[in-house]
Chain A
Amino acid sequence: MAIDKMEQSLRPPQLELKSFPSKIITLASGEEMIVREAKREEVGVILGTIQPLMGVQKDFYDIVASRMYAEVLGWYEYRVANEFVLVGVIKGEIAGIVNSRLADGKTGMSFHTMTIKRGLRIGAQLFAAKMEHHIDILGNDEVHIVAESPIGFKRWMIEYALEDRSDQYPLLRHELGGVPTFTLTRELWDRVKADKCTGFRPVPPEKLATALKLKMPSEYPQIPGFKRG
C-alpha cells in the first residue's frame, strides 16, 4: 500500500528488532504452550482475544485489556515505535499475550502481560519470555516495569526482587504513567533466569504448525458463560 506523506509523518522512526525465536513449554497440566512472536497481520485475532476482557473489573483485567488493546492497535497502525508482541498458544488458541517496546537500543519499556487461561503460571512464563527477548535477544541492558494490579506486583516486583527506581522520578518515568517504576537489570536477569525462564528450542515443526494460525479463546474463566458471537 502506498504511504502518503502525511501518514509517513505520523509514523515514528523504528529500530530494527531481532525476532523472538519460538519455544515450547510443558505446563503443569501437561499441556504444551508455544511462545512465539505475533505478526502484524495477526492483530485482528489478538484484538478479538483482548476485547472481551475490557469489561472485566476483577483483578484489573479492564485496565490491562484496554491499555493492551490500544498498544497493540498502535503497533498495527505504526503509532508506537519498536513494539513487539508475544503470544502463548495452546492447541492453536491464544492463552496469554505480552507486549513491550524498546525506548532505545539499550532500554526496554515493558507494557502489559495478560493471562487468559489461569492457574498454570502462563503469565509468569510469558513475562519471563518477554524479559528474555529484551535482554538476551535484543541486547537491552535494562527493562523498566510497572504493575497495574496486585497480581502483577506480586509476580514481578516481589518474585523478581526488581530494583525500585521510584526515587528517580521524574527523571525516570515509565511510559504507562506515574506508578512507581521498577527495573530489571541484566545482572538481576542473569541471576534469576534459570529459575524463571524455561522452554525448548527449536519447536518441532509439527508442533509449531499448530500455533501458526492463531485462534481466539473459546472460553474465558474471567467471564463465566462467555460465548463468542
Chain B
Amino acid sequence: MREVSIVGIGHTVFGNLSDFDLVDVMGFASGNALDDAGIREEREIIEQVFVANMGGGILNHQTGIASSLVSRMDMEPAMAELIENGPASGASAVKMGYMAIASGMVDVVMVTGGELMRTVTGWEGTDFVASLLHPEAEYNYGLTLPAYGGMFTRMYMERYGLTERDLGLVAVKDHQNGEKNPYAHVRVPCTIDAIHDNENAHVINNYIAEPLRMYGMCPVSDGAASLILCANDSPKMKYFTKEKPILISGIGSATDTHCVHNRKDPLILDAVRLAAERAYAMAELKPADISFAELHDAFVILELAISEEIGFFPRGKAAEAVRNGVTAIDGAKPVNTSGGLKSKGHPVGATGVSQVFELVKQLREQGEEGRQVKNPKHGMAVNFGGFGNNVVAIICSKGEE
C-alpha cells in the first residue's frame, strides 16, 4: 500500500456554536486545514472529501452534508461522501481517506468531521446519542450512554478497587491540559479538593449517572475538525511545503456485539483491544513505542479502561498510573493532551478527526506552552463508537528527522 501523510490540519473552537449552521462550522475547520496546508488557492487538487457526522439529519434537519460542504467550500467537482459510524465517525472518515489514497484511487483527500449538538436540550441530545443502542434490547428499556458509563464504572470499581477520587484525578489532569488548549470547550481548571474532597463537592460536582459525576462526563459540544491527507509518492506532495508531513503509520478498527449484555465480560472491550492490535501491527510498533495518546473519554472511566485495553497498563492498574502522574503531560505516557473529550468537548462527528488533529499538532511540536509532549515520536488515537461496539485506532508518526 502507498504511504499516506497528513499535510494540513484545521479546527474550530469546541463549545456552543449554535449561531452557525452545521456546514458553516465544518467550513471553518476545512478552511483552516486548507490554510494550514497552504493550498486554499489550489484546493482543486483535492479529489475526494469525506465528511464525518452522526446527527445532522436528526439534530439539524440537514442531510446531504458532504456535497453541501464541497459546494460551500467551492471545491466542486471533488467526490464527496458522508461517513456515519456513531461517535467513531471521525476516525472512520480518516480511515476511509487513508484507504482511498492507499488503494491508489486518489492522491489528496480532505476529511472533515463536525457536529452541532447544542441546538437541542440535554435530554434530547442524550436521546439522540442513545439511538445508537439496540432499539429493542437496550433503547426501549431507557438505557442511555451515560447510564452505560455509570454501570461500567460501578462494575470496574467493584472489581479493581477504583475510587471516585481516582475518577476525579482523571478530570483534574484532563482539565489541566484543556485549560491550555485554545480549542477546548471547558477551559477552566478543576481541583481534586473542589470536585471530590471538599464538603461542597456533592453539589459542585453532582451525580449524573452514579457513580459518575458531572466532572466524570464530557460536555455536549458543537465543533468541527479537518485534515488534509496526501500520498507520500504523489507528485502533488510538492504543494505541501509549509509543514512537515505526519505519517499515518497504523490504522485498525474492530466491532463487538451491539448489545453489551451479549459480551462474556462487559468490562472487556474486545473491539478496543483488536483495533489497537491491528494498528500496532500495521505500524510495526508496540504500546511501549507510543509517546502519547488521545483516548475517547466521553466518561472518564473510558480513559482508564481504554488505556489498559491498548496495552499501556495492566488491567485494573490505570488509576494507579494517573495517581502517579504517568499520564500527565510531563509523565511517561501522556494521555489526552488536548484535554480529551472531558475538557475539550465531544461534538460526536468531529471527535475522531479532532483526536488526529491533536496527534499531528503534538508531533509537529506545536502544542501550547505547558501542553507539549517532550520529543514525541508516535501518537495514538482511539475513537470509541457505541458502547465499544465499533472502535477505530489510528497511529501517527513523526518519521525521520
What are 28 A-B contacts defined by CB distance under 8 Å?
A25-B200, A26-B194, A26-B200, A27-B204, A28-B195, A28-B205, A29-B189, A29-B190, A29-B191, A29-B194, A30-B193, A30-B194, A58-B19, A119-B187, A119-B188, A120-B188, A121-B204, A125-B203, A154-B121, A154-B122, A158-B121, A158-B123, A195-B202, A198-B200, A198-B203, A199-B200, A200-B199, A200-B200
Tell me which residues across on chain A come within 8 A of B187, comparing CB atoms.
Answer: 119
Which B residues have a C-beta under 8 Å from some C-beta of A?
16, 19, 121-123, 186-191, 193-195, 198-200, 202-206, 215
Complex Cα distance, B204 from A25, in Å, reads 9
The yes or no answer to A59 lying at the interface (CB within 8 A) is yes
Question: Nearest chain A CB to B157's CB is how many angstroms away?
Answer: 22
In the complex, chain A residues 140-157 whose Cβ is within 8 Å of any chain B Cβ = 150, 153-154
Please determine whether A28 and B194 come into contact, CB atoms closer than 8 angstroms: yes
B207 to A, closest residue via Cβ: A195
Q: List residues of chain A with CB within 8 A of the CB of B199.
A: 200
Please, which residues of chain A bring their CB within 8 A of the CB of B215? 28
Tell me whether A26 and B203 are in contact in the complex, defined as CB-CB below 8 angstroms, given that A119-B187, A158-B122 are known contacts: no
Chain A nearest Cβ from B210, distance in angstroms = 12
Query: How far apart are the CA atoms of A153 and B206 in the complex, in Å?
Result: 19
Residue contact B188 to A197, C-beta cutoff 8 Å: no
Measured between beta carbons, the chain A residues less than 8 angstroms from B189 are 29-30
Question: A29 near B188 (CB under 8 angstroms)?
Answer: yes
A-chain residues with CB within 8 Å of residue B203 when the two chains form the complex: 125, 195-198
The CA-CA distance from A125 to B189 in the complex, in Å, is 18
- With CB as the reference atom, state the residue of chain A lying closest to B186: A119
Task: List chain A residues, Cβ under 8 A from B191.
Answer: 28-30
Taking CB as reference atom, which chain A residue is nearest B204?
A28
* Residues of chain A within 8 A of B195, CB atoms compared: 28
CA distance A99 to B215 in the complex (A): 29
Query: Given A29-B189, A58-B19, 9 more contacts at CB 8 Å?
Result: A25-B200, A25-B204, A26-B193, A28-B194, A29-B190, A59-B16, A120-B188, A125-B203, A200-B199
Chain A's closest residue to B120 (CB) is A150
- Residues in B with CB closer than 8 Å to A120 are 188
Q: Most chain-B Cβ atoms within 10 A of its Cβ — which of A29, A121, A195, A196? A: A29
Could you mark each residue 49-70 of chain A with 1 if its beta carbon is under 8 Å from any beta carbon of chain B, else 0? 0000000001100000000000
Provide the residues of chain B in CB contact with A154, threshold 8 Å.
121-122
Main secondary structure of the interface of B (DSSP, over half): loop
CB-CB < 8 A to A197: which residues of B?
A: 203
- A25 to B186 CA separation, bound complex (whole angstroms): 20
Complex-state Cα separation, A182 to B190, whole angstroms? 33
Closest to A199 in B: B200
CB distance from A117 to the nearest CB of B (A): 9
* A199 CB to nearest chain B CB (Å): 7
Q: Which residues of A contact B188 (CB under 8 A)?
A: 28-29, 119-120
Instruction: Tell me how far the C-beta of B39 lies from the nearest C-beta in chain A, rounded to whole angstroms.
Output: 29
How far is B214's CA from A196's CA once the two chains are assembled, in angstroms?
13
B118 to chain A, nearest CB (A): 8
Q: How far is the CA of A153 from the CA of B189 in the complex (A)?
A: 26
- Distance (whole angstroms) from the CB of A41 to the closest CB of chain B: 31
A-B complex: 9 closest residue pairs judged by Cβ atoms = A30-B191, A198-B203, A119-B188, A28-B190, A198-B200, A30-B194, A28-B194, A26-B198, A26-B200
Q: Mark A173-215, 1 if CB is under 8 A from B, else 0.
A: 0000000000000000000000111111000000000000000
Q: Which residue on B lies nearest to A128, using beta carbons?
A: B203
Residues of chain A within 8 A (CB-CB) of B193 are: 26, 30
A100-144 contact mask (Cβ, 8 Å, vs B): 1 or 0? 000000000000000000011100010000000000000000000
Cβ < 8 Å to B, chain A residues 1-36: 25-30
Q: Given that A154-B122, A195-B206 are known contacts, is A27 also in contact with B186, CB under 8 Å in the complex? A: no
Chain B residues lying within 8 Å of A29, measured Cβ to Cβ, are 188-191, 194
A121 / chain B contacts, CB cutoff of 8 Å: 204
In Å, the complex CA distance between A28 and B201 comes to 8
In the assembled complex, the Cα of A158 lies from the Cα of B123 at a distance in Å of: 9
Query: Nearest CB to that of B203 among chain A residues?
Result: A198
A121: nearest chain-B partner, CB-CB: B204
Verify A198–B122 contact, CB threshold 8 A: no
Distance, CA A120 to CA B204, complexed state (A): 8
CA of A25 to CA of B194, assembled, Å: 10
Question: Which of A27, A154, A158 has most chain B Cβ within 10 Å?
Answer: A27
**Contact status A26-B123, CB under 8 Å:** no
CB distance from B160 to the nearest CB of A (A): 26
User: Which A residue sits closest to B193, measured CB to CB?
Assistant: A30
**Nearest CB in chain A: distance from B211 CB, A:** 15
What is the bound-complex CA distance between A195 and B16, given in angstroms? 26
In the bound complex, residues from chain A placing their C-beta under 8 Å from that of B200 are: 25-26, 198-200
A31 CA to B120 CA in the complex, in Å? 31
Question: What chain A residues lie within 8 Å of B206 (beta carbons)?
Answer: 195
Please name the residue on chain A nearest to B205 by beta carbon.
Answer: A28
A153 proximity list for chain B (CB < 8 A): 121
With a CB–CB cut-off of 8 A, which chain B residues contact A196? 203
Minimal beta-carbon separation of B323 from chain A (angstroms): 19
Residue of B nearest to A196 (CB): B203
- Residues of the A chain whose Cβ atoms lie less than 8 Å from the Cβ of B16: 59
Q: How far is the CB of B117 from chain A (nearest CB, A)?
A: 13
Q: How far is the CB of A158 from chain B (nearest CB, A)?
A: 6
Which B-chain residue is minimally distant from A221 (CB atoms)? B187
A131 to chain B, nearest CB (A): 13
